[in-house]
Structure formats: structure tokens, C-alpha cells
Amino acid sequence: MKSYPLSVIILLCLAILMVDGITFYWLQSVLQWIDLSVYTYIINGLFVCFSIGLVTAIIVLKVRLDHIDVKRKQRLISSLYGLTVSSFVPKIIFVMCITILSVTNQMFTPIENLWFIPVLGLIAGILPFLVIVYAVFKAVYHFKTYHITVHHQDLPKAFEGFRVVHISDLHLGSLNYRYKVLDRAIQIINELKPDIVCFTGDLVNNYAWELKGWDSTFLKLSPEIKKYAVLGNHDYGDYSTWHSEADKQVNLDTLKAFYSRIGFKLLLNTNAVISKHNEHLHIIGVENWGLPPFKQYGNLKQSMSGLSASDFKILLSHDPTHWSEEVVNHTNIAVTLAGHTHGMQAGLQFKNKAWSPIQYKYKHWAGLYKETNQYLYVNRGLGWLGFPGRLGMRPEITLLTLTS
């Protein structure tokens, strides 16, 4: 998880205090309608205590971050992140709405008739708070299955109707050993009866110790399903401080060994073949490849070693920018599967329309894309990182059915 400098944290705290100050000012216009002053004192007291407590907790956590046990650090940061978002966003909306309503209506309405403005502002602040609470306590593990059909004229006849389950970005450290949560996802995958499962990286947040106890969960996947995986940017330990390069390498080796234990073939710039009735389908896996500041461990040319132009290929590549930069119009890879974006864990989706702030950073951020005769599917992720919730961007299990 990214660490921000103290100056940025202080600016964040000042922004929180400024918004809280304006919110407190407008809150008084709501409290004036409460007859008993004791309730007014209690509400004001709780508001001030929460505001000061949140800012203090953020600063103390930042100052003491290097002295906190790393296993507690991830939980504390995520909890504080969620608390800040659930507090800050509704207040921003409350302040904006009540300010706009007040300025607009004072031009046309006597001040004594403006009692409804603070009420509407309060409603505008409460609604997003309830949405965020739902995102944190319900939607974050409310798995959604997407059924996608991919038509490709070069698909070998033996693989007509071939079923591929695509999952990505588990971030097991964020699950905090809630094994039953992932058990439900495994059950959904088994019920889909896929031919293969493809995992496109970010198994952990940073450390191999996050994998403790998860073996038994993954081993519940049907043994009849072939399983393939690649590494994501978080799997390499690049966002952590290590005593030595040797320690970092041990962490990575431990993660790689975990894949062997759970029956996944980890493709590190290599490929694998699936044969059926003397016809073949090739699974290619590259190590993480992204635009700076993300590392480029992936070597697509190496991963395609031994393959011919006529082979039907499915590429697993964690970062969807790789498709634009090295795959589409540069190779004849039929289908690429990626993750990484999480759909920003926030957005709006209605039928075939979707929007998320992440689209201003990533051209391909969720769902199926096609250029000429090449496809890219970007999975929204099964876990979470940072904000412990999902706003309109539920965790995803994708079933892709291949057809000619």
C-alpha cells in the first residue's frame, strides 16, 4: 500500500478540518429546530470529538507507521481509510448542497421561509453516507458473475463452447483471513463448471505471510479444472521495505511455491498448451508489465517462444495497458485477460453503460473490448485494496465462453 509523505498527510488533515468547520456551521441551522438544548450539546460534542479524533488518528498513524507491526499496519490503514471516506464524502456533499440551495433561494425567498434548506442539505449528506456504509458492509463481498461470449473465427473446432473463468486482484491481505468469504466465490466458480480458471495477478497486498491458511480454500476448486495464473504488481513486494534483496526474493519464492501447492500453473513469461481432439489452445502468461511508475517484468516475446502464427492464443497479463502497448496490432493473440484497475471499486453501471473515475487514467478499465479481431477483457477484481468497500462496482467472477 502506497505510503504518502507527512506533508501530504497534513494537507489532507487541513482539508478535513476545513470541511468539518463549514459542516459544523451549517449543522447549527439544522439543530435550531431541536427544542431540547441538551441534544444540541451532545450532537455538537460528538461532532467535534469525532473530527479531532479522526485527524489525530491519521497523524499519529503516519508518525508511528514504521514502528507498527506490519500485520496490524494494513488493517489500521484500511480501517482509517474507510472511516475517512465515509465521513469526508457525505460532508462535502452536505456542504455543497446546502450552500447552493441557500445562495439560490435567498435571492427569491424571505430568509424566515428557508427552513427546508438545511433539511434538504442534511438529506443530501445522509444518503451518500448510507451508500458508503452499504459499500463497506455489504457490497464489498457481494460477488457478481458476468457471462461473456467471445466470438472468434480462428477458434479451433474442438474448443467450441470452451468455458474460461477469469478472476483477478484477490488481495488476500485485505480479507484478513475471512476464509468463508472466498469459500463462497470458490463455490460459484465450481458451479459454473469451467474448463479452465485464469487468475490475472495481485494475489496479495505485499507479503507472502498473507497466504497463511488459504491453501485449503483454493484446494476446494474442482480438481477437474485446469488452473493458470500470472503475477500482479503487488505480488513482487515492491511496495514494502526489506532488510535485503534476499529477503524480498524469499518472499517472492514463497508466493510462487503457494501456487504450486494449490494446483495453479504460474506462467512467468512462458506458455502452456491445452490439447483436445488433436487441436490446441495456448495459454500465455507474462509477468507484470505496466507503464511507469509500474515495473515492466514482462517479456511478451519470451512468453510466446515456440508458438506459431496460426496457434490460437489466450494471454494473461495483469495490467490492461499492456494490451494497447504491445499486444493489439503487434501480435495475433486472440484474447487477452487483465485486471489491475478494480474499476476503482467505485462507479455507475446500467445495462451496457458504465462510468468510473478510473476511466480517466485507463482507456480499458472494465469489461470486454475489441479491436480488429483481438479481444481484451478487464476484470473488476474479486478483492479490494485501500478503501474497504465497493460503490457500484461489485467484486467480479467472469465466465467467458469461446465460440467461432
Output the nine-digit C-alpha cell for 36. 431540547
For 286-300, the DSSP string reads: ---B-STTS-B---H
- Res. 146 pLDDT band, cuts 50 70 90: very high
pLDDT-derived band of residue 83, with 50, 70 and 90 as boundaries?
Answer: confident
**How many separate helices (H) and strands (E) can be counted in the chain?**
10, 14
Instruction: Provide the pLDDT for residue 349.
Output: 86
* pLDDT number for residue 107: 52
Whole-number CA gyration radius for the chain: 25
Tell me what pLDDT residue 118 has.
67
Name residues whose C-beta falls within 8 Å of residue 192's C-beta, 6 or more positions apart in sequence: 145, 163, 165, 397, 399
Topology (CATH) of 141-403? Purple Acid Phosphatase; chain A, domain 2 (3.60.21)
Read out DSSP for 231-269?
A: --GGGGTTTS--S-HHHHHHHHHHHHHHHHHTT-EE-SS
What is the torsional sign of CA 28, 32, 38, 39?
negative
pLDDT at 1: 47
* pTM of the full structure: 0.87
**In this structure, what are the phi and psi dihedrals at residue 249, rounded to the nearest 5 degrees?**
-65, -40
- What does the CA dihedral 396, 195, 266, 282 come to, rounded to 10 degrees? -110
Domain regions of the chain by residue span: 6-137, 141-403
Give the whole-number percent of the chain exceeding pLDDT 70.
Answer: 93
Using CA atoms, how far apart are residues 136 and 205, in angstroms rounded to an integer? 19
The model's pLDDT over 127-140, given as tens digits with 9 standing for 90+, comes to 888 888 899 989 99
Residue 289 has phi, psi (to 5 degrees) of -140, 115
pLDDT reading at 239 higher than 60:
yes
